[in-house]
Amino acid sequence: MKGIFPIEGFKAMETPFYYYNTELLRQTLSTINIEAGKHEQFRVHYAIKANANPKLLNIISHAGLGADCVSGGEIKAAIDAGFSRDKIVYAGVGKSDWEINIGIDNEIQCFNVESVPELEVINEIASARGKVANVAFRINPNVGAHTHANITTGLAENKFGIAMRDMENVIVLSLKMKNINFHGLHFHIGSQILDMGDFEALCNRINDLLCQLERHHIKVETINVGGGLGVDYRHPNRMPMPDFKAYFDTYAKHLKLREGQTLHFELGRAVVAQCGSLITKVLYVKEGATKKFVIVDAGMTDLIRPALYNAYHKIENITYDGEKQTYDVVGPICESSDVFAKAIDLDECHRGDLIAIRSAGAYGEIMASQYNCRRLPSGYVTEDIR
Ligand code: PLP
């Protein structure tokens, strides 16, 4: 065993595959429960989009978290994994009728609604089924986040949510609908946010919106602030968990919750990123004209974040301790963007060495594709490895 990985067990396994350290996942969940549990009105959901591996979902649902879903398929996955239906919320800018039906039939906690046409369809479908749907409105707070442009969601230019100026009219409209129960407000400003000041800015905006609604005697039961808490991709060993205390304390300090209101969080990346690694094998070490390439058997089809966001993942040779060499680590896909890292120092690599691409538990396995007719990577947890 080198470092934290059961290398002997890995040797018999077909690569590439995802490996999830369930001990770290359990510790992370326990820390979340302790830190959020200090605030009576706080409720934590897990954003299934980050990773829907059933073994992880099972552990997360057993820890008591609710589920944040963005498709009918995710609602089904959440129910199959044991999440309680009354702790499932469903967001998304384009919900199809069949997906709305799944939510209504299962009497989920809440639909996070993003437009008036969507509200009207939910009302119609709920009416046809003789049900009342709880809804929260996703408001676009026009709050920026210091993160990658592709994962910023709370700016006026983004497609998500209802503009603040329309908020009151939409709520008033919903209060007149027979099969809709207005529940609350929903926000999500982006992902991989490390600056607590961004969350503080969101709190300040929500405080203003709550005052505005109170002036018109509109009661808000739940406030959902989405997810977005980032992780330390550079130091997965030193910082295996984000600073959950600082995160929850920021909301406790800056958001002025009213009596009886609950505050919902929908954390994805912060829950699962650090427990997962993509394990891949060196196929070839190739001397290029100006540099050396390590060609591994995983590609952008298995982990797309570096190609999509230029995202950094720490990479380690977990088989061999040797002198450091500088390499570009690339996959076998026929795309120039199929690169995991450029000019990084790794213990000298040889054909057959196992390589760990760290912090890959979020937006990794779930985003895998079969481009180039490749196989999807398998996901294993600690208990699967002998
Ligand atoms: N909630 C919503 C509505 C989202 O769109 C997302 C991610 O895109 C999340 C929660 C989870 O975000 P994160 O993984 O950054 O915590």
Residue 232's CATH number: 3.20.20.10
Q: How far is the CA of 354 from the centre of ligand 1 (A)?
A: 32
Best probe residue, ligand 1, of 74, 188, 244, 275 (max atoms within 8 Å of C-beta): 188
Range of the domain at 330: 2-16+274-384
Shared-domain flag, residues 286 and 225 = no
Tally of structural domains, the chain: 2
Distance CA 18, CA 59 (A): 17
Residue nearest to atom 6 of ligand 1 (CA): 227
DSSP assignment of 148-191, as one string? Answer: -GGGB--STTSS-SEEGGGHHHHHHHHHT-TTEEEEEEE---BS
**What confidence score (pLDDT) does residue 155 get?**
54
User: Tens digit of pLDDT per residue, the chain (386 long)?
Assistant: 456 899 999 998 999 999 999 999 999 999 999 999 999 999 999 999 999 999 999 999 999 999 999 999 999 999 999 999 999 999 998 999 999 999 999 999 999 999 999 999 999 999 999 999 999 999 988 886 666 655 555 555 566 789 999 999 999 999 999 999 999 999 999 999 999 999 999 999 999 999 999 999 999 999 999 999 999 999 999 999 999 999 999 999 999 999 999 999 999 999 999 999 999 999 999 998 899 999 999 999 999 999 998 999 999 999 988 899 999 999 999 999 999 999 999 999 999 999 999 999 999 999 999 999 999 999 999 999 97
Burial class (CB in 10 A: 0-12, 13-18, 19+), 224: buried
- The enclosing H or E element of 294 equals strand 292-296
User: Do the beta carbons of residue 182 and residue 135 sit within 8 Å?
Assistant: yes
Closest C-alpha among 254, 344, 367, 334 to residue 294? 344
Shared-domain flag, residues 284 and 241 = no
Shared-domain flag, residues 299 and 346 = yes
Using CB distances shorter than 6 Å, the residues near ligand 1 are 47, 49-50, 68, 91, 188, 191, 226-229, 266-270, 362
**End position of a domain, from candidates 272, 297, 315:** 272
Shared-domain flag, residues 169 and 235 = yes
pTM (2 decimals)?
Answer: 0.95
Q: How far is the CA of 14 from the centre of ligand 1 (A)?
A: 32
**End position of a domain, from candidates 272, 306, 327:** 272
Q: If you search the block for the tokens 């996955």, which residue do you land on?
A: 77
Shared-domain flag, residues 46 and 111 = yes
Sign of CA dihedral 239, 242, 244, 248: positive
DSSP assignment of 184-246, as one string? Answer: EEE---BSSB--HHHHHHHHHHHHHHHHHHHHTT----EEE----B---SS-TTT-SS--HHH
Question: pLDDT tens across 302-353, in order?
Answer: 999 999 989 999 999 999 888 999 999 999 999 999 999 999 999 999 999 9
Shared-domain flag, residues 93 and 239 = yes
Shared-domain flag, residues 231 and 304 = no
The CATH number of the domain holding residue 295 is 2.40.37.10
**What confidence score (pLDDT) does residue 344 get?**
97
**What confidence score (pLDDT) does residue 1 get?**
40
Residue nearest to atom 9 of ligand 1 (CA): 227
Question: pLDDT tens across 1-47, in order?
Answer: 456 899 999 998 999 999 999 999 999 999 999 999 999 999 999 99
Shared-domain flag, residues 261 and 374 = no
Question: Which atom number of ligand 1 is nearest to the Cα of residue 151?
Answer: 8
